[in-house]
Amino acid sequence: DRRATLILTLTLCNLRKTELSKAAKVFEMFETQIHHFETRRAKKPKNSADDLDIFVECEVHSADVSILITSLKRVAEDVKTSREDKVPWFPRKIQDLDKCHHLITKYDPSLDHGHPGYTDLEYKKRRAFFADLAFNYRAGDPLPLIEYTAQETATWREVYRKLSSLYPTHACTQYLDAFQQLEKYCGYQEDNIPQLQDVSRFLKGQTGFQLRPAAGLLSARDFLASLAFRVFQSTQYIRHFSSPMHSPEPDCCHELLGHVPMLADKEFAQFSQDIGLASLGSSEAEIEKLATLYWFTVEFGLCKQNGSIKAYGAGLLSSYGELMYALSNKPEYKPFDPEMAAVHPYQDQAFQPVYFIVENLEDAKAKLQNYAMKIKKPFSLRYDPFTSNIEVMNTPQKVKRALHQMKEELKNLCLALENLS
């Protein structure tokens, strides 16, 4: 039911040939609500002095925007538009994540001249294979099983061996505990690239998170939306063999060594889901701030533990060079403040000059929740873990139903406390 407001300008030529009525029929066909309609003689007539410039402000179903514009282009010239969604579309059920696959292609090996695999046709062909798997995946399908090549496994081995030597001294305890479990149950070892199916099953049992395949670097809106459902979109391809210690884009080394172990921690899983929930229906400006917050926490976050500074961010835990650098005396440290972190400049192709340090993950979660409450939206949302759906709390009945469920849960907890005493 989402509606979009459109500002349209177009030119109708040879009005005697009923172009105006044709254009009117297009608007009628898509049940367009017209708020303002203005005509004037064309400034630059193409065919005759009867050419007409038209300005329209209207409202239409968001799903019809593209086809409306295409239809107008058949009966008019110079059709131009700008749009303002009243509420940007967001997924309501886990199956809607099938639509959340829009890629940011600036680091794609086929387009980025600086990518290590840019001139490697075999590598680009292999990447196309992985992209097809991800684009054809649908919620509920088994996760694709990959037969990795000897070269891919050799790249993984080099990365795994080097990074795992740093973890005992540089990674936070939550990461180390989970990493040990992943080695035990999910085939984490230097001669084996773990399969998403095994890892997803493990995460589901730990925190309710699950994986789905991604073709590459996703748009911030699509990626964050997935987190709201406790779904992490994970690439399955591996970085180019010529550059094992650095990848300009996410790959399975980054996902499996950086993100997955932390997603097995309950506090961190809730923190990740909270960022996702905050993103749903947010404006582009708010999405940019949330993506920056994600960058300085989930990707490059540091925390205090036992009087030391440790890493919990995936960008650090999957980069040998930056993990060493981040815990040296070279960068600047700042205490984590969501308001500040959300607008702080960052580097996506160099080491960060500044890192934000959280007191602990629970404190970071509380600060994020306070930040998210200030994001202005015309509705409140609630995630239903039983159905994996997002409920828009837009009626008193829905709020009452949620409160009733909470009361039932509180009764059970009170009973549990009584039994313990």
- Going 32 to 38 to 43 to 47, the CA torsion angle's sign is positive
Token readout for 109 is 């090996």
Give the separation between CA 275 and CA 368, rounded to whole angstroms: 8
Structural contact between residues 244 and 157, judged by C-beta atoms closer than 8 angstroms: no
Contacts of 371 (CB under 8 A, 6+ apart): 278, 293, 338, 339, 342
Return the structure tokens found at 261: 């172990």
Phi, psi of 291 (to 5 degrees): -65, -35
Q: How far apart are CA 340 and CA 283, in angstroms?
A: 19
* Residues paired with 233 in a beta bridge: 212
Q: What would the two tokens of residue 413 be?
A: 């907890």
Residue with tokens 């209207």: 58
Q: Which of 200, 226, 254, 282 is catalytic?
A: 254
61 in active site: no
Which among 277, 273, 251 is positioned nearest to 262, based on CA atoms? Answer: 273
In the residue annotation, 299 being an active-site residue is answered as yes
Q: Of 259, 272, 279, 282, which is the active-site residue?
A: 259
Q: What angle do CA 315, 234, 207 make, to 5 degrees?
A: 85
Rounded-to-integer distance, Cα 44 and Cα 242, Å: 56
Residue that has been written with the tokens 């990626």 in this structure: 223
Long-range contacts of 156-161, Cβ-Cβ distance < 8 Å, separation of 24 or more: 156/190, 156/193, 156/238, 156/252, 156/253, 157/190, 157/191, 158/244, 158/245, 159/239, 159/244, 159/245, 159/253, 159/257, 159/318, 159/320, 160/188, 160/189, 160/190, 160/253, 160/257, 161/190
Has 279 been annotated as catalytic? Answer: no
Residue where the block lists tokens 């407001």:
5
The catalytic residue positions are 254, 259, 299, 318
